[in-house]
Amino acid sequence: MKIEFIDKAKNGVIGVVLFEGTEAKISKTYCIRQTSDFKAKANACQVAAIDGDKTIIFAGLGKEAEYSNEILKKAVGKFVACAGQYKAKELTIDCTAVDDVASVVEGTVLAGYSFLKYKPTDEKEKTTLEKLSLITSKPKNTSEKEAGHALLVANTVNYVRDLSNEPANVATPTFLAKAGQQVATTSKNIACTVLDKKKLEELGCNSLLSVAAGSTQPPAMVILDYKPAKYSKTIAFVGKGITFDSGGISLKPGKDMDQMKFDKNGACAVIGSVKAISELQLPIRVVGVFAATENLPSGSASKPGDVVKAYNGKTIEILNTDAEGRLVLADALAYTVANYKPDYVVDIATLTGACVVALGNSFSGLTTNNDKFAESVLEAGIQSGDRCWKLPLGTDFDDKIKSDVADIKNLGAPEGAGGALTAAAFLKHFVGNTPWVHLDVAGTAWTTSQRDYFVKGATGVGVRLFVKLCENLVKT
Ligand code: BES
Ligand code: ZN
Ligand code: ZN
């Protein structure tokens, strides 16, 4: 999508963002007879006037005192959705009410996304947004810089949505590994290593291999090592990459099982984050790791009661093969901290249904062994829009995952009590003393209906957060 800066609205579809109480003033600017019924409340959107070749749409920001950049992104998202009916390839947005060019660009690019790879060509042509014209009172060079940065990040979020929306028959573990390799060859300073099944066997990644046991698709652990010329800190991002989660022998119910193609979202977010951070050439080393496999039932699949030894030597009793995310992350986390010794590690995983019950769809669950590091992730969440909410961890849940026959078991308290927390308590065994944040994105990785600036499907959660976190870390 191209962006240009203009002084005065041209013909076409024009969005105007405005605060409550400024309706009369804005209506006058656009020579619109003030419509008495439109109040610029947050989330309100209305076609204000159709005047010859101009269609003017108002998008409310609510009260100025309650403003946040998230409100602006949502307002822009509402406008883009509303403008969709005109099938315009170009849109104009007047954002002089708040000159936050970055949020306007981000909101537009994210809301304008659609996944049409498997649709006819004419439908693709009709719906692709090609140009955004912005009216802002900010100086042009600042606007261009802000817009360029926002466009890069939002385009990467959409790239991750593309990966994540791919069906499981296409997006196999090998497909994800290839996507990682592709990013390494097209971006700067990234080395990609693919650990295949044989290598994983040699390394003793038996926990990951136990999940892959039921599938004919070979698993892979992929490392994308972004190492800029200058850096002082290393952060690792570790993603769950289950390309399809049927539950395995502990088979899931059939209803909505198709959604489990999104169980690879953590891996997709890792690929996209390393890509964006490299393109921005941030002076921080980023080790992006993901463990990719299918989780399927078959004669060779793991069974409840099986015991495996993970990369770090811990033994795990598998009591439910549907709690496979923690099994693949166990090896990926242990391998990452042992071999790359990062200053920080963040894992991202569609890990538990319990997290969705607890937090719903706008906050990812955050657990940690280091409150200070957690603070910086929470802050980056607020700034970027990928918001997180802290859940308790400490030592309270340790005894819930004690096993009778092994060091730990992959299932927590009966009836799933505190399911998101016992999952985190399990992961804690694989990070040692490295400052660590675990993000459960089960509720935020995809949406089943249009929400804010997201259309149905993958949201690309994680990219905006990780980019912002790294930008903040290099400043401190
Ligand atoms: N991928 C699922 C978690 C999930 C569920 C994500 C719904 C998004 C929406 C995960 O592998 C899983 O099945 N977890 C189980 C764990 C349980 C068996 C301890 C769950 O949450 O039910
Ligand atoms: Zn599962
Ligand atoms: Zn899963």
Which residues lie with the beta carbon below 6 Å from any ligand 1 atom?
A: 245, 263, 320, 322-325, 350-354, 356, 411, 419, 442
Instruction: Give yes or no for a contact between 5 and 140, defined as CB atoms under 8 angstroms apart.
Output: yes
Distance CA 140, CA 142 (A): 6
Residue 349: φ, ψ to 5°: -155, 140
- CA 250 to ligand 2 center in whole angstroms: 9
Residue-level pLDDT, tens digit, the chain, 476 residues:
999 999 998 899 999 999 999 998 998 888 887 666 789 999 999 998 888 889 999 999 999 999 999 999 999 999 999 999 888 899 999 999 998 999 999 999 999 999 999 998 887 777 789 999 999 999 999 999 999 999 999 999 999 999 999 999 999 999 999 999 999 999 999 999 999 999 999 999 999 999 999 999 999 999 999 999 999 999 999 999 999 999 999 999 999 999 999 999 999 999 999 999 999 999 999 999 999 999 999 999 999 999 999 999 999 999 999 999 999 999 999 999 999 999 999 999 999 999 999 999 999 999 999 999 999 999 999 999 999 999 999 899 999 999 999 999 999 988 889 999 999 999 999 999 999 999 999 999 999 999 999 999 999 999 999 999 999 999 98
Q: What is the dihedral of CA 347, 353, 355, 356, to 10 degrees?
A: 120
Strand duo 344-349 + 436-440: pairing: parallel
Task: Compute the C-alpha angle 132/137/138, nearest 5°.
Answer: 85
- CA 351 to ligand 3 center in whole angstroms: 6
- In the block, tokens 């963040």 appear at 346
Instruction: Give yes or no for a contact between 17 and 94, defined as CB atoms under 8 angstroms apart.
Output: yes
Nearest residue to 373 via CA among 236, 230, 222, 269: 236
Please choose from 262, 322, 411 the residue to mutate so as to test ligand 1's pocket, defined by most ligand atoms within 8 A of CB. 322
- CA 269 to ligand 2 center in whole angstroms: 19
* Ligand 1, atom nearest to 320 Cα: 18
- CA 352 to ligand 1 center in whole angstroms: 4
Q: Residue 35 carries which DSSP code?
A: P
* Ligand 1, atom nearest to 260 Cα: 1
Task: Compute the C-alpha angle 157/163/168, nearest 5°.
Answer: 150
Domains of the chain with bracketed CATH? 2-138 (3.40.220.10), 159-473 (3.40.630.10)
- CA 245 to ligand 1 center in whole angstroms: 9
Please choose from 319, 327, 352 the residue to mutate so as to test ligand 1's pocket, defined by most ligand atoms within 8 A of CB. 352
pTM over 0.85, yes/no: yes
Q: Residue 454 carries which DSSP code?
A: B
| Bridge partner list, 373 | none
Distance CA 367, CA 255 (A): 29
| Nearest ligand, measured from the Cα of 304 | 1
* Burial category of 120 from C-beta neighbours within 10 Å (exposed 0-12, middle 13-18, buried 19 and up): exposed
Count the Cβ atoms, other than its own, within 10 Å of residue 382. Answer: 15
Strands, E, within 404-453: which ranges? 408-409, 436-440, 446-447
| Nearest ligand, measured from the Cα of 322 | 2
Consecutive H or E run containing 50:
strand 45-51
Q: Active-site residue numbers?
A: 252, 326
Six-digit token string for 171? 């997006």
Alpha carbon distances (Å) from 61 to 67, 71, 84, 105, 254:
7, 6, 20, 16, 42
Instruction: Give yes or no for a contact between 211 and 256, defined as CB atoms under 8 angstroms apart.
Output: no
* Ligand 1, atom nearest to 411 Cα: 19
